[in-house]
């Protein structure tokens, strides 16, 4: 692509990353449209440090290209480097060196990357090359790093619920003065209903495709042909305008049921009553507070019940902000945490969806088709299985980072390493999210069509989650027996006959031996 020359001699190069697609960005705060140049680049390193889902790459490249056009319409000079451009340097540091050389500049301004890896690479590059780097805090979050550190300091346990209350007070969302709306902070107890199939179940908004998206789809289809996932049908929104429509669509059609069925799973309904907005939010097309304020308004207008609205707002100003805080508090070691010393490689069916376990086949095939699975599928199906089977948590982390359109390490790693694998030893969760087939049966329709029998505890036809659940607890008894929230489970095990215990352990061994 050609470089547009700004009207006056340029001064600073402003790097805008692929997940910084927001006009209000700290890097642009005091920038000069007449003098500064914005750099955006599709580099191979970012597109391949894990084997990202094809839809995820296409979504980001198309959203980046649309954002560059928006910036130009807003009067900025944008240097946009496409993946197949001759002068694409392959990595962001190399691209920065190239652009600084071409433009004769030595100053770079940017909003801090969300991922530790990239932040480190750019800081190291600037130090080694004597570049003046002005890396600014990402102000698109409710809680700053400093604020989170202050909250975390001196606390024995970093529980999300208490952090969330601070964020409610800070934002004033669903607050009546100092008191939470309705008298309670959290309405989760009302949010655990199983769902039934419904012909009229709302679906996420399908975006329109334009020439830019078509061009990107062709590029990704060729360059990333071997990557996981289906490129078509491509229905993701790639502009802020359409992301706002997707938000409105969610509020009007789906939000009222979000709370009730938040934990439910149905084989033929990949999205259920979820918002499917995380990929837009994490790329910067939407902001967390604008989403929460719109959802809050639906409650005050009488369009959605409190359990749905509180539950939704908690996910964003609670969980999302909290996991980001944990990530930056604990990196760089966090992604290598392995509390249970789990070493088993990731089974091949995580990439093929070829499994006789109907729940796993559904979660993985939906992931392959949509670059999406909802929270309970990620936590209680694919995550639960990996933890029970003793899969290496770093391999699990890399899988999640690759396959979801909303996956960035700062949000994915605490959810995987901490919440779903308990690999951080309980920093984030008070007990492992381990469950037998009974939980999946209660919350889904998967077991009805499964080759395994969820009621059978042991033997070749038993649901694999059943023996694996006990095997996991016993394998890791030295680390878990003292957990007060697991006392009941260990007492149940201790009361079992030796014969029954043996049957569980040998059935689990047979399942594990069969994993390839």
Ligand X SMILES: Cc1cc2nc3c(=O)[nH]c(=O)nc-3n(C[C@H](O)[C@H](O)[C@H](O)COP(=O)(O)OP(=O)(O)OC[C@H]3O[C@@H](n4cnc5c(N)ncnc54)[C@H](O)[C@@H]3O)c2cc1C
410 is an interface residue for ligand X by CB under 6 A: no
277 is an interface residue for ligand X by CB under 6 A: yes
419 is an interface residue for ligand X by CB under 6 A: yes
Nearer to ligand SF4, 250 or 452 (CB): 452
Report the distance separating Cα 416 and Cα 397, nearest Å: 6
Among 274, 368, 394, 446, the residue binding ligand X under the rule CB under 6 A is 274
Torsion of CA 110, 131, 333, 346, to 10 degrees: 70
Among 307, 370, 420, 476, the residue binding ligand X under the rule CB under 6 A is 420
Helix (H, G, I), strand (E, B) or coil at 221: helix
Report the distance separating Cα 443 and Cα 60, nearest Å: 33
Q: Name the binder of 68 from ligand SF4, ligand X, none, CB < 5-8 A by kind.
A: none
> Which positions lie near ligand SF4, rule CB under 6 A?
357-359, 437, 440-441, 446-447, 450, 452, 454, 463-465
CB 82 within 8 A of CB 1: yes
φ/ψ of residue 208, rounded to 5: -85, 150
278 is an interface residue for ligand X by CB under 6 A: yes
CB 363 within 8 A of CB 446: no
Nearer to ligand SF4, 19 or 471 (CB): 471
Which residue is listed with tokens 């070749």?
A: 460
CB of 443 to ligand SF4, least distance (A): 10
Nearer to ligand SF4, 52 or 446 (CB): 446
CB of 415 to ligand X, least distance (A): 4
Report the distance separating Cα 42 and Cα 18, nearest Å: 8
406 is an interface residue for ligand X by CB under 6 A: yes
CB of 434 to ligand SF4, least distance (A): 13
Nearer to ligand X, 268 or 494 (CB): 268
Report the distance separating Cα 421 and Cα 486, nearest Å: 16
Report the distance separating Cα 511 and Cα 203, nearest Å: 36
Strand partners for 252: none
Angle, CA 430 vertex, CA 426 and CA 436 arms, to 5°: 100
Peptide bond into 332 cis (omega under 30): yes
415 is an interface residue for ligand X by CB under 6 A: yes
Nearer to ligand SF4, 323 or 361 (CB): 361
320 is an interface residue for ligand X by CB under 6 A: yes
Site string for ligand X, 352-391 (x = CB under 6 A): ----------------------xx--xx---x--------
Nearer to ligand X, 93 or 229 (CB): 229
CB of 369 to ligand X, least distance (A): 15
The site for ligand X, by CB under 6 A, has a size of 28
503 is an interface residue for ligand X by CB under 6 A: no
Q: Name the binder of 213 from ligand X, ligand SF4, none, CB < 5-8 A by kind.
A: none
452 is an interface residue for ligand X by CB under 6 A: no
Nearest C-alpha neighbor of 72 from the set 80, 60, 83, 61: 80
Q: Which long-range contacts (CB under 8 A, 24 or more apart) does 198-202 make?
A: 201/269, 201/272, 201/273, 202/249, 202/253, 202/254, 202/273
Q: How far apart are the first and last CA of the chain?
A: 46
CB of 496 to ligand SF4, least distance (A): 20
Q: Name the binder of 447 from ligand X, ligand SF4, none, CB < 5-8 A by kind.
A: ligand SF4
Strand partners for 444: 265
**Cβ partners under 8 Å of residue 432, min gap 6:** 387, 422, 472, 480
Report the distance separating Cα 401 and Cα 491, nearest Å: 37
CB of 512 to ligand X, least distance (A): 21
Piece of the chain touching ligand X by CB under 6 A; list 133-141, 213-221, 236-244, 269-277: 269-277
Which residues make up the interface to ligand X (CB under 6 A)? 274-278, 281-282, 312, 315-316, 319-320, 323, 374-375, 378-379, 383, 400, 404, 406-407, 411-412, 415-416, 419-420
């Amino acid at each position: 692509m050609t470089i547009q020359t700004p009207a006056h001699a340029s001064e600073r190069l402003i790097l805008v990353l692929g997940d910084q697609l927001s006009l209000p960005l700290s890097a642009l705060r005091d920038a000069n449209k007449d003098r500064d140049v914005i750099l955006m680049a599709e580099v191979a390193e970012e597109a391949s440090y894990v084997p990202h889902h094809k839809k995820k790459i296409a979504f980001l490249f198309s959203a980046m290209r649309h954002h560059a056009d928006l910036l130009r319409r807003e009067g900025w000079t944008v240097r946009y480097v496409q993946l197949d451009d001759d002068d694409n340097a392959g990595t962001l540091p190399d691209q920065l060196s190239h652009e600084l050389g071409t433009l004769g500049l030595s100053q770079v301004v940017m909003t801090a990357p969300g991922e530790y890896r990239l932040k480190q690479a750019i800081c190291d590059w600037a130090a080694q090359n004597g570049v003046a780097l002005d890396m600014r805090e990402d102000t698109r979050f409710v809680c700053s790093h400093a604020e989170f550190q202050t909250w975390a300091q001196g606390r024995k346990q970093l529980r999300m619920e208490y952090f969330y209350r601070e964020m409610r007070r800070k934002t004033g969302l669903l607050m009546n003065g100092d008191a939470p709306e309705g008298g309670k902070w959290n309405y989760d107890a009302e949010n655990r209903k199983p769902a039934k199939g419904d012909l009229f179940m709302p679906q996420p908004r399908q975006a329109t495709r334009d020439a830019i998206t078509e061009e990107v789809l062709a590029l990704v289809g060729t360059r990333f042909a071997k990557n996981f996932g289906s490129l078509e049908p491509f229905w993701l929104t790639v502009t802020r305008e359409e992301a706002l429509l997707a938000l409105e669509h969610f509020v009007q059609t789906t939000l009222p049921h979000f709370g009730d069925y938040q934990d439910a799973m149905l084989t033929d309904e990949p999205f259920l009553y979820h918002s499917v907005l995380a990929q837009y939010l994490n790329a910067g097309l939407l902001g967390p507070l604008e989403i929460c304020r719109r959802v809050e308004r639906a409650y005050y207008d009488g369009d959605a019940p409190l359990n749905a609205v509180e539950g939704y707002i908690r996910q964003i100003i609670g969980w999302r902000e909290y996991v980001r805080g944990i990530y930056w508090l604990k990196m760089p070691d966090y992604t290598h945490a392995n509390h249970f010393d789990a070493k088993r490689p990731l089974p091949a069916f995580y990439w093929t969806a070829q499994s006789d376990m109907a729940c796993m086949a559904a979660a993985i095939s939906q992931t392959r088709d949509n670059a999406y699975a909802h929270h309970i599928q990620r936590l209680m199906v694919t995550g639960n299985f990996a933890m029970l089977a003793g899969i290496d948590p770093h391999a699990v982390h890399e899988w999640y980072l690759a396959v979801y359109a909303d996956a960035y390490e700062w949000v994915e790693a605490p959810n995987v390493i901490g919440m779903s694998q308990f690999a951080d030893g309980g920093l984030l969760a008070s007990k492992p999210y381990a469950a037998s087939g009974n939980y999946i049966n209660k919350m889904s329709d998967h077991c009805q069509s499964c080759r395994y029998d969820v009621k059978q505890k042991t033997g070749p036809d038993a649901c694999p989650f059943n023996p694996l659940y006990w095997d996991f607890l016993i394998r890791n008894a030295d680390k878990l027996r003292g957990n007060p929230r697991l006392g009941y489970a260990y007492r149940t095990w201790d009361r079992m006959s030796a014969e029954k215990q043996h049957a569980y352990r040998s059935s689990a061994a047979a399942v594990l031996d069969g994993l390839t």
